[in-house]
């Protein structure tokens, strides 16, 4: 009951924050459109129609068509699905991996901590985009490659935070009490430490989603992301850039959802952070 | 204390009211178009042109591609130069006379008024001998050696006279070897002092312009050669700016940063209706050739009926319309219209034949065919690849398009870059071309398998035809030979020739550009309008 009321209280706090509410609406719209994309898209996003190519916005093609006569609005909607298909699972995997390794590093023996930190530092020493391009050059462009890059580069960030928080909690009295009663490491980490650090990391992860979407779009813009003819916001941007002078609606269709997604997740993430951190809320 | 509001400049004392009145009058006149246009709206006496890549070498033996030649042609002389205009041909440059004595001897005499700058003296036949023979010298290992074909040596018969001696007749001598990169005559003394080769700094020049400086990724600057005795150079300096993206180059032109640039085909229709202020748009047929190749050594493509089905399924007008905005036309082979060896028709109809493609696929006995198509990462090629993907889907062949950035793409079929050539199935390729068919067929011989011949087509008959055509001096016979060579390529099923593309250029109406028939710049002949 207490947990339920805490959740309700948090939800109310978000709804009372105008920017948080706006972020929530955008995120729900984005996720909703991604889930129901095949039903929402008025046209097959990969169907070529040479007669309709490069048409401006019309009643049937709300955002015009591209150089192959494909409906830009449908490609934008389906592009959102690709963006979330990359962002949500890869951030979730990176969060899970980072949490696990971070907690083990923070709670385990010193040698293990050193080894995991060395691994994190090594992975973080590669610039994300350069690492992504190297992966693509080695294994070829695909959604899986983009997701792998996100997991490899994001997990150390979450891991470091999880480790720091675990080390702080490790010396708490309730952990010492658990240890005194013979609790083993897995139980302490999963039952006692994880619930206390998860909130912060979830907020952080939600704010990372736009960055991952931008990375996917960037790689697709460079031709290193999803394969044609799969629609993605990055490939819309690429096609739009080539035709920016004559058909600007293409680049708008690629850029607008990226901007909206970034704003949505950022507003929501900030609202969640405020909810999770009452001190910060009071200072605003 | 009130400040004096008068504006003083060069002794002119003008009140504020008078200044404002004058400024308003100038503004009104300008708005009405009543003021004369400045002679040099963008450039003064500097010509600024765009190159699609940066300078790599100023050595004719080691520079490759058109950007290298664009820089070298104004600073070096050749015996003959391409004619500017719409017809392929050549004109005398450093030679006062040049004559084909027989099929393997070409006699030439040099002008007596050409000298090398920085004290390297007059141009002599020894310089010509040195320039040409070093290209074919195995010790130098010049990548441009094939352009010199069957050159044996150059006999010096006088200070300014000599004879070019070929081992065998070589028809492309007049269309590639002499008027292109390998034909640039350098100073023997200067190059020997530099150790036999140079990089990105030229010790001397003999043409209407001299090399001044290269700012990597910024520009190459050429300046007028004060010692040049030929037709005077029109500009004090020429700046060649490397801008790989044509959209960016177009914007630079509109901003007044360029006087001459190629523009993307996607812009042509818009520019036809509304060219930028002071801009002139011109369209040229290109010599490039674009084709879909199939790796004959790949187990998935061993069935000739399957390859033919692919050929017949592809609709060229769809590709030229979608990827080239209707500016480029479908091609019939490697060799563009206007050149010896051009075919009026290919064996496969332009628009393909879907029914025949389906029938061929059925006859092949292949089912559930799925193939990969590798393409270079440009909007044009990715668009063309998606049309091919859709065309092949119509006959039940699934195609996965793999997009590669340029550096990776150009290693895909190279054996020297690893075993990835074995996985290559379909590939969308584009080669540049010079105005002789020899240059096209030379990349598809057995010797080129695993180098530039990614289809791995190897036919002794084709090789023999290629070699025989190179030494054939009868134009009619050469024409037939090259047409047959393209028929042979197409009959393998490994090639679907797509287009020769098109070149669209935009230039400032204050200049008078000099271009080859394919739109390539001949900067030394550019003039002020």
Q: What is the DSSP string of B215-231?
A: ETTTEEEEEE-TT--SS
The Cα of A180 is separated from the nearest Cα of chain B by a number of Å equal to 59
Evaluate whether ipTM surpasses 0.90. no
Query: Is 50 exceeded by the pLDDT of residue A136?
Result: yes
Per-residue pLDDT of B278-336, as tens digits, reads 999 999 999 999 999 999 999 999 999 999 999 999 999 999 999 999 999 999 999 99
Chain B residues in contact with A241 (beta carbon < 8 A)? 247
Nearest to A72 by CA among A240, A259, A243, A220: A240
Beta bridge partners of residue B285, listed in sequence order? B502
Cross-chain residue pair B408–A53, CB shorter than 8 Å: no
Q: How far is residue B7's CA from residue B9's CA, in Å, rounded to a whole number?
A: 7
Q: Touching check for A89 and chain B: CB below 8 Å? A: no
- CB count within 10 Å of CB B419 equals 7
Q: How far is residue B50's CA from residue B244's CA, in Å, rounded to a whole number?
A: 9
Chain A residues in contact with B321 (beta carbon < 8 A)? 50, 53
The Cα of B410 is separated from the nearest Cα of chain A by a number of Å equal to 13
The sheet carrying B370-376 orders its strands as B398-404, B370-376, B426-431, B289-294, B495-499
What residues have CB less than 8 Å from B181, skipping those under 6 apart? B60, B63, B64, B68, B69, B72, B144, B147
pLDDT bracket for residue B461 (50, 70, 90): very high
Closest residue of chain B to A228, computed from CA coordinates: B401
Can you tell me which residue has the tokens 């190629």?
B262
Cross-chain residue pair A228–B250, CB shorter than 8 Å: no
Cross-chain residue pair A228–B318, CB shorter than 8 Å: no
Can you tell me which residue has the tokens 């992301």?
A225
Cross-chain residue pair B386–A238, CB shorter than 8 Å: no
Region of residue B23 (left: phi > 0; alpha: psi -120 to 50; beta: else): alpha
**Helix or strand (DSSP H, E) at A148:** helix A143-170
Closest residue of chain B to A245, computed from CA coordinates: B267
Q: Touching check for B104 and chain A: CB below 8 Å? A: no
Nearest to B88 by CA among B181, B184, B179: B179
Pairing mode of beta strands B46-51, B237-242: parallel
Best of A55, A232, A242, A250 to mutate (most B CBs within 10 Å, chain B) = A242
Q: What is the mean pLDDT of chain B?
A: 90
The pLDDT of residue A280: 55
Q: Touching check for A222 and chain B: CB below 8 Å? A: yes
Chain B residues in contact with A245 (beta carbon < 8 A)? 247, 250, 267, 270
Q: How far is residue A85's CA from residue A147's CA, in Å, rounded to a whole number?
A: 9
Q: How far is residue B384's CA from residue B354's CA, in Å, rounded to a whole number?
A: 18
Q: How far is residue A118's CA from residue A109's CA, in Å, rounded to a whole number?
A: 14
The closest CB to that of A50, out of B267, B269, B318, belongs to: B318
Chain B (220-259) residues lying within 8 Å, Cβ to Cβ, of chain A: 247, 250
Closest residue of chain B to A243, computed from CA coordinates: B266
Chain A residues in contact with B387 (beta carbon < 8 A)? 48, 68
- Tell me which of A274 and B523 has the higher pLDDT: B523
Cross-chain residue pair A223–B403, CB shorter than 8 Å: yes
How many Å separate Cα B59 from the centre of its chain?
18
The pLDDT of residue B37: 38
Encoded tokens for A201: 């990391």
Encoded tokens for A4: 């339920």
Q: Touching check for B383 and chain A: CB below 8 Å? A: yes
Closest residue of chain A to B385, computed from CA coordinates: A228
Query: Is 70 exceeded by the pLDDT of residue B4?
Result: no
The closest CB to that of B383, out of A67, A241, A244, belongs to: A67
Chain A residues in contact with B400 (beta carbon < 8 A)? 227
Closest residue of chain B to A240, computed from CA coordinates: B379
Domain A1-276 CATH (choose: 3.40.50.10800, 3.40.50.11540, 1.10.3720.10, 1.10.760.10):
1.10.3720.10
Q: What does the DSSP assignment read for B235-298? A: -SEEEEEE---HHHHHHHHHTTS-SEEEE-HHHHHHHHH-PPTTEEEEEEE---EEEEEE-TTS
pLDDT bracket for residue B206 (50, 70, 90): very high
The Cα of B127 is separated from the nearest Cα of chain A by a number of Å equal to 46
Contact call for residues B233 and B220 (beta carbons, < 8 A): no
Closest residue of chain B to A238, computed from CA coordinates: B379
**Portion of chain A with pLDDT greater than 70, in percent:** 95
Q: How far is residue A70's CA from residue A47's CA, in Å, rounded to a whole number?
A: 6
Per-residue pLDDT of A146-190, as tens digits, reads 899 889 999 999 999 999 999 999 988 999 998 899 889 999 999
Contact call for residues B284 and B503 (beta carbons, < 8 A): yes
Cross-chain residue pair B321–A50, CB shorter than 8 Å: yes
- CB count within 10 Å of CB B231 equals 10
Cross-chain residue pair B323–A67, CB shorter than 8 Å: yes
Chain A residues in contact with B250 (beta carbon < 8 A)? 245
Contact call for residues A143 and A132 (beta carbons, < 8 A): no
The closest CB to that of A68, out of B270, B386, B400, belongs to: B386
The Cα of B308 is separated from the nearest Cα of chain A by a number of Å equal to 24
Contact call for residues A242 and B264 (beta carbons, < 8 A): yes
Lowest mean pLDDT across A213-222, B76-85, B502-511: A213-222
The Cα of A65 is separated from the nearest Cα of chain B by a number of Å equal to 12
Rg of chain A in Å (alpha carbons): 22
Beta bridge partners of residue B220, listed in sequence order? B214, B240
Lowest mean pLDDT across A45-59, B62-76, B222-236, B514-528: B62-76
Chain B residues in contact with A224 (beta carbon < 8 A)? 377, 403, 405
Torsion of CA A136, A137, A139, A141, to 10 degrees: 40
Q: Touching check for A242 and chain B: CB below 8 Å? A: yes
Beta bridge partners of residue B229, listed in sequence order? none
Cross-chain residue pair A228–B322, CB shorter than 8 Å: no
3-state secondary structure B66-89: HHHHHHHHHHCECCEEECCCCCCC
Per-residue pLDDT of B335-355, as tens digits, reads 999 999 999 999 999 999 999
Beta bridge partners of residue B283, listed in sequence order? B504
The pLDDT of residue A278: 57
Cross-chain residue pair B405–A239, CB shorter than 8 Å: no
pTM for this prediction:
0.81
Closest residue of chain A to B271, computed from CA coordinates: A246
Q: What does the DSSP assignment read for A23-86? A: HHHHHHHHHHHHHTHHHH-SS-TT---GGGTT--S-SSSTT-B-TT--BHHHHHHHHHHHHHHH
Chain B residues in contact with A141 (beta carbon < 8 A)? 402-403
């Amino acid at each position: 009951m207490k947990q339920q009321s805490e959740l309700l209280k948090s939800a109310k706090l978000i709804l009372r924050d105008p920017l948080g509410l706006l972020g929530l609406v955008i995120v729900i719209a984005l996720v909703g459109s991604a889930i129901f994309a095949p039903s929402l898209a008025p046209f097959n996003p990969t169907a070529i129609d040479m007669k309709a190519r490069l048409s401006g916005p019309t009643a049937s093609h709300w955002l015009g068509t591209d150089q192959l006569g494909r409906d830009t609005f449908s490609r934008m909607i389906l592009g959102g699905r690709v963006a979330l298909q990359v962002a949500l699972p890869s951030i979730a995997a990176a969060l899970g991996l980072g949490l696990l390794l971070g907690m083990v590093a923070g709670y385990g023996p010193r040698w293990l901590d050193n080894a995991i930190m060395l691994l994190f530092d090594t992975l973080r020493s590669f610039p994300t985009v350069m690492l992504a391009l190297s992966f693509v050059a080695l294994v070829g462009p695909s959604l899986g490659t983009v997701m792998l890059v996100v997991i490899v580069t994001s997990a150390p960030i979450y891991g470091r935070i999880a480790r720091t928080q675990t080390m702080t909690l490790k010396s708490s009295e309730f952990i010492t009490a658990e240890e005194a009663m013979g609790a083993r490491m897995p139980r302490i980490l999963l039952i006692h430490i994880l619930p206390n650090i998860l909130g912060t990391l979830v907020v952080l992860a939600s704010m990372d989603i736009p960055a991952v979407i931008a990375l996917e779009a960037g790689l697709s813009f460079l031709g290193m992301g999803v394969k044609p003819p799969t629609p993605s916001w990055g490939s819309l941007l690429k096609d739009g850039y080539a035709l920016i002078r004559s058909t600007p609606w293409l680049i708008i269709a690629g850029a607008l959802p990226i901007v909206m997604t970034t704003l949505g997740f950022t507003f929501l993430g900030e609202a969640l952070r405020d909810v999770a951190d009452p001190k910060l809320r009071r200072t605003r | 204390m009130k400040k004096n509001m008068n504006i003083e400049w060069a002794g002119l004392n003008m009140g504020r009211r008078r200044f404002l009145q004058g400024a308003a009058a100038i503004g009104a006149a300008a708005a009405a178009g009543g003021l004369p246009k400045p002679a040099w709206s963008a450039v003064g006496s500097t010509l600024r042109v765009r190159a699609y890549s940066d300078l790599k070498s100023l050595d004719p033996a080691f520079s490759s591609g058109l950007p290298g030649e664009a820089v070298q042609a104004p600073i070096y002389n050749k015996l003959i130069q391409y004619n500017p205009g719409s017809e392929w041909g050549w004109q005398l440059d450093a030679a006062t006379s040049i004559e084909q004595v027989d099929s393997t001897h070409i006699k030439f005499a040099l002008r007596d008024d050409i000298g090398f700058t920085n004290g390297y003296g007059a141009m002599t036949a020894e310089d010509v001998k040195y320039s040409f023979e070093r290209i074919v010298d195995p010790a130098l290992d010049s990548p441009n050696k094939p352009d010199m074909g069957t050159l044996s040596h150059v006999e010096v018969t006088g200070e300014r006279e000599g004879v070019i001696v070929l081992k065998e007749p070589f028809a492309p001598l007049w269309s590639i070897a002499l008027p292109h990169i390998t034909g640039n005559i350098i100073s023997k003394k200067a190059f020997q002092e530099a150790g036999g080769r140079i990089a990105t700094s030229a010790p001397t020049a003999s043409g209407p312009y001299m090399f001044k400086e290269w700012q990597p990724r910024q520009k190459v600057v050429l300046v007028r050669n004060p010692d040049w005795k030929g037709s005077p150079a029109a500009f004090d300096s020429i700046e060649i700016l490397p801008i790989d993206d044509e959209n960016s180059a177009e914007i630079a032109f509109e901003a007044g940063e360029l006087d001459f640039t190629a523009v993307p085909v996607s812009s042509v229709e818009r520019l036809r209706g509304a060219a930028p202020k002071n801009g002139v748009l011109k369209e040229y047929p290109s010599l490039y050739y674009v084709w879909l190749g199939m790796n004959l050594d790949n187990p998935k493509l061993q069935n000739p009926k399957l390859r033919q089905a692919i050929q017949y399924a592809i609709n060229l007008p769809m590709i030229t319309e979608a990827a080239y905005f209707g500016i480029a036309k479908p091609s019939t082979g490697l060799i563009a219209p206007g050149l010896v060896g051009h075919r009026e028709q290919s064996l496969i109809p332009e628009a393909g034949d879907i029914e025949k493609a389906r029938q061929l696929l059925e006859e092949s006995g292949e089912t559930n065919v799925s193939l990969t198509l590798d393409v270079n990462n440009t909007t044009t090629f990715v668009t063309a690849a998606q049309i091919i993907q859709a065309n092949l889907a119509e006959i039940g062949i699934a195609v996965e398009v793999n997009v590669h950035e340029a550096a990776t793409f150009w290693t895909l079929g190279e054996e020297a870059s690893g075993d990835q050539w074995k996985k290559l199935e379909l590939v969308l390729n584009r080669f540049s071309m010079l105005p002789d068919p020899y240059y096209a067929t030379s990349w598809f011989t057995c010797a080129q398998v695993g180098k530039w011949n990614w289809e791995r087509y190897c036919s002794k008959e084709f090789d023999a035809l290629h070699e025989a055509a190179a030494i054939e001096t009868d134009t009619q016979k050469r024409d037939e030979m090259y047409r047959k060579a393209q028929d042979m390529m197409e009959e393998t099923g490994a090639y679907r020739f797509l287009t020769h593309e098109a070149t669209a250029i935009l230039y400032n109406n204050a200049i008078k550009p000099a271009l080859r028939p394919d739109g390539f710049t001949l900067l030394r002949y550019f003039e002020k309008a």
